[in-house]
Amino acid sequence: MSRRWRRALRHPAFVVGLVLTAAILGTAVCSLVYTPRDPLLMEFAARLEPPTAAHPMGTDQYGRDLLSRVMRGAIASLAVGGVAVGIGMGVGVILGAAGGWLGGWLDEAAMRVTDAVYGFPAVLSALLASAVFGPGVLISMVAVGIAYVPVFARLTRASVLSLRAQEFVTAALALGARDRMILWRHVLPNTVSPLIVQATISFPLAILAEAALSYLGLGTQPPNPSWGLMLREAQNFLQLSPWYAIFPGAAIALAVLGFNLLGDGLRDVLDPRAG
Amino acid sequence: MRRLILRRAVAFLATLFVVSLLVFTVVRVLPGDPALLIMGTEGSPEAAAALRRAMGLDRPIPVQYVEWLGGVLRGDLGRSIQYDVGVGRLILSRLAVTLPLTVLAAVFMTLAAVPLGVYAATRNGRAGDYVTMLLSQLGIAVPSFWAGLLLILLFAVRLGWVQAGGFDGWAAGLWSGLRALLLPAFALGVVQAAILTRTTRAAVLEVLRADYVRTGRAKGLSERTLTWKHVVRNALLTIVTILGLQLGQLLTGSIVLENVFYLPGLGRLALGAISARDLPVVQGVVLFVAATVVTLNFVVDILYAVLDPRIRYE
């Protein structure tokens, strides 16, 4: 273990982040094989119950166990977050690398497109796409992902531009290496670190975006559990059962907090300029 | 300077063009037949054909785009299928809620973030700094719509001080309108304040390291004069820039918050239009908000260059 990692592990915020993230990931994996109850099982006799020993977080309006639903809801958040960041990074890296390496009108066009996409926060693209294709979890993944294309594209472009002027790239060019080969073997590997750092910033934001979209009814659809969707349903029962609105929201906040703290620590480790 | 502004303006117009192209493409080109989409499964083929002709969908796509864009530039965003009025007029009427909500949220955000950020920076490394940063870390993690729900839970359900949502319109009086916007603006502003607090802190810390601050201190200026007259003033440029960029996020955030508090703004208009399959309205709202965000970014960019003589972009 390098000195940077050891230093990170002595940092309380990083450790809290690590624990929270591990707990969320553990919960998500665990919920695939075990939840206290079936998250989809409706028990009409036990509707909107307060937290009890049988239902530690209470039940929803159909008598479904909230703890089980909050546990299973972690999967939707992590999956949408992961896929969205993947889309944003994949498309962004291609646009940024092509623009930065080739330059000229292609670069200009790529930058205009990313500027335009920057004007579409996830909520807007999701609104537009849902109007056309109907709301769904796939729409929310793509909408959140597209919103991240500009930041990854700009980051990659900046790295590629600075690397292109480096001597080892000039040397590779002089040796007759092809463009694609130089990009793959010499340029892109050197941009990985800032990309990972950006991914750690984007991932918790994607969790927040997924929650907001599901809350609006544009993401995960019922009866599947998602934290945002649960809050949407809980809003109708604020008077009767306030805890219904508290647990899913706390789950979102803890997940985002955990990934943010972990990301801060990773940034210290991966980015030699910071800290 | 003039060349810089001109170049940015050209890029800005090109960006707006791409925005319009994206919105048009998603609605008119990708899904196949908007007429069928609007009518759903109930429409007869004849009715769909008539609607297609009325919407001009039987003409080549580039022609459709040019006509649509021409209309948009004249302020004609099409007609709402659900309400049978111009989309532009609908948007303007709903802005009467969304705009004050966004501005009020920006006020809350600034009032909370700037003093906190300055405080944290001047206490750098001490308890006050850590507590502020901890709070901002929590603020970033809390979704604004959940903050809104919690505020309703506390102030409407528990304490009964305010109603849980709804908006009686500005005709019912300025105070009645403002009161309906207070909680949502607070929920929206406080969450965004977490980000601005961090930026303010970083900007102030940066200035605190400058030589002239040390000089000021050496010649015996009080810490308060030094902080507010010399440090904050110089950090203001960065703070205002970030604030400007956050306005766009507040605008889209208000779309979500309007649904928490049942406010008849742009967000509820768009969501209602989705369930009613009112494509022109969704298209109009999305185009309007996206163009506003892009314009805000452009204005901030230009202001930044105008205000700071050191920045002249190569």
Q: Which of B102, B286, B293 to mutate to test the interface with A (most CBs of A within 10 A)?
A: B286
Q: Which residues of A touch B14 (CB under 8 A)?
A: 112, 115
Verify cis geometry, omega within 30 degrees of 0, for the bond prior to A223: yes
Spatial separation of the C-alpha atoms in residues B24 and B18, rounded to whole Å: 10
pLDDT of residue A267: 77
**Side chain identity at A37, as an amino acid letter?**
R
Residue of A nearest to B136 (CA): A257
B255 in contact with A, Cβ within 8 Å: yes
- Chains A–B, number of C-beta pairs less than 8 Å apart: 143
Please tell me the distance in Å from A48's CA to the nearest CA on chain B.
Answer: 16
The count of C-alpha atoms lying within 13 angstroms of the C-alpha of A184, restricted to the half-sphere facing its C-beta, is: 5
Please tell me the distance in Å from A221's CA to the nearest CA on chain B.
Answer: 14
Token duo for residue A50: 């307060």
A229 in contact with B, Cβ within 8 Å: no
A130 in contact with B, Cβ within 8 Å: yes
Partner residue opposite B18 with nearest CB, options A13, A116, A238: A116
Q: Which residue has the higher pLDDT, A271 or B62?
A: B62
Neighbours of A66 (CB within 10 A): 28
Q: Which residues of A touch B137 (CB under 8 A)?
A: 13, 257, 260-261
Neighbours of B48 (CB within 10 A): 17
B271 in contact with A, Cβ within 8 Å: yes
Neighbours of A258 (CB within 10 A): 23
Q: Shortest CA distance to B249 belongs to which of B198, B304, B293?
A: B293
What does the pLDDT average to over A65-88? Answer: 91
Q: Phi/psi at B86 (nearest 5 deg)?
A: -60, 140
Question: Inter-chain contact B137–A260, Cβ cutoff 8 Å?
Answer: yes
Please tell me the distance in Å from A205's CA to the nearest CA on chain B.
Answer: 9
Token duo for residue B184: 């949502």
Question: Inter-chain contact B140–A239, Cβ cutoff 8 Å?
Answer: no
pLDDT of residue B314: 44
Residue window 173-232, chain B: list those with CB within 8 Å of chain A: none
Partner residue opposite A127 with nearest CB, options B16, B164, B282: B282
The count of C-alpha atoms lying within 13 angstroms of the C-alpha of B190, restricted to the half-sphere facing its C-beta, is: 19
Residue of B nearest to A227 (CA): B146
Given a contact cutoff of 8 angstroms between Cβ atoms, the answer to whether B259 and B267 are in contact is yes
B145 in contact with A, Cβ within 8 Å: yes
B146 in contact with A, Cβ within 8 Å: yes
In this structure, of A41-50, A164-173, B50-59, B196-205, the range with the lowest mean pLDDT score is B50-59
Q: Which residues of A touch B16 (CB under 8 A)?
A: 116
The count of C-alpha atoms lying within 13 angstroms of the C-alpha of A73, restricted to the half-sphere facing its C-beta, is: 29
Question: Inter-chain contact A212–B143, Cβ cutoff 8 Å?
Answer: yes
For the four alpha carbons of A14, A17, A19 and A22, in that order, the dihedral sign comes to: negative
Largest Cα separation within chain A, whole Å, is 77
The runs of H, that is alpha helices, within chain B are 2-24, 34-39, 45-54, 61-73, 87-122, 127-141, 144-151, 174-208, 211-218, 223-225, 232-260, 266-275, 279-307
Residue of B nearest to A250 (CA): B142
Residue of B nearest to A239 (CA): B157
What does the pLDDT average to over A105-117? Answer: 88
Q: pLDDT at residue A53 above 90? A: no
Structure-token match 């750098």, residue found:
B124
A230 in contact with B, Cβ within 8 Å: no
Spatial separation of the C-alpha atoms in residues B190 and B297, rounded to whole Å: 22
pTM given for the model: 0.88
Residue of B nearest to A205 (CA): B141
Question: Inter-chain contact B14–A253, Cβ cutoff 8 Å?
Answer: no
B274 in contact with A, Cβ within 8 Å: yes
Question: Inter-chain contact B293–A238, Cβ cutoff 8 Å?
Answer: no
Q: Which of B16, B25, B131, B145 to mutate to test the interface with A (most CBs of A within 10 A)?
A: B145
Alpha-carbon separation of residue B27 from A125, A136, B207, B273 (angstroms): 11, 17, 48, 14
Residue window 31-60, chain B: list those with CB within 8 Å of chain A: 31, 37
Token duo for residue B174: 């300025």
Token duo for residue A273: 């300029």
pLDDT of residue A275: 41
pLDDT of residue A117: 87
Q: Which residues of A touch B27 (CB under 8 A)?
A: 128, 131-132
How confident is the prediction along chain B (314 residues), in pLDDT tens digits per residue? 788 888 889 889 988 998 999 888 888 766 556 666 666 666 677 777 777 777 777 788 888 889 889 988 988 888 888 888 999 999 999 999 999 999 999 999 999 999 999 999 999 889 999 999 999 999 999 999 999 999 999 998 888 888 777 888 888 888 888 888 999 999 999 888 999 999 999 999 988 888 888 998 899 888 888 888 888 888 888 888 888 888 988 999 998 999 999 999 999 999 999 888 888 899 999 999 999 999 998 898 888 777 776 665 54
What does the pLDDT average to over A197-208? Answer: 90
Q: Shortest CA distance to B204 belongs to which of B172, B175, B239?
A: B239
Residue of A nearest to B158 (CA): A239
pLDDT of residue A1: 60
Residue window 193-222, chain A: list those with CB within 8 Å of chain B: 204, 208, 211-212, 215-218
Q: Which residues of B touch A210 (CB under 8 A)?
A: none
B249 in contact with A, Cβ within 8 Å: yes
Spatial separation of the C-alpha atoms in residues A26 and A19, rounded to whole Å: 10
Please tell me the distance in Å from A115's CA to the nearest CA on chain B.
Answer: 6
